[in-house]
Amino acid sequence: MARRSIWRGYGYAWVTLAFFVLTIVGHWMFGWFAFVNEQRSHGEAATFGPYAVEMMRDTLENWQSEFLQLLWQVGGLAFLLFLGSPQSKEGNDRLEAKVDELLRHLDQERGEAIIHEIDDRYSGRHTDEPHAHL
């Protein structure tokens, strides 16, 4: 089996990471410009300490109110489905049971053998065989 490039295999994650880095850098950069203008309007010097506190507060507030909600609702669900949580397996187990019954019904002599061959092929025990013959 050919190995996929980490860049190609995780392309969506790389693009998402690039968007995240660009937007967080832009957020902090434009935040600095706004902070400097605000400090000038009050006749004060802009220093990094108060700016960092204000930007961390704003960043964490945005992170909590927007990103974490979406991350958990979409990303968390996708991750749990990928891991095979009990909730995600219910539908797969039901479908697999139906397909097994169909195979047993359609080929009463070899149905069970076909099911075992398929189970062996996808369990990882026969990784050197590209396709088992049914």
pLDDT digits (tens, 9 = 90+) for 11-49: 889 999 999 999 999 999 999 999 999 999 999 999 999
Residue 107 located in a structural domain: yes
Q: What's the rounded Cα separation, in Å, for the pair 24 and 66?
A: 14
Geometric angle at alpha carbon 15, from 14 and 18, rounded to 5°: 85
Which residue segment(s) compose the domain that 127 sits in? 84-134
Residue 95 located in a structural domain: yes
Residue 52 located in a structural domain: no
Q: What is the pLDDT of residue 130?
A: 47
Domain count, the chain: 1
Residue 98 located in a structural domain: yes
Residue 108 located in a structural domain: yes
Residue 118 located in a structural domain: yes
Q: What is the pLDDT of residue 89?
A: 58
Residue 61 located in a structural domain: no
Residue 73 located in a structural domain: no
CA within 13 Å, CB half, 76: 7
- Condensed to tens digits (0 to 9), the pLDDT of residues 67-118 reads 778 877 887 788 777 776 665 556 677 788 888 888 888 888 888 888 888 8
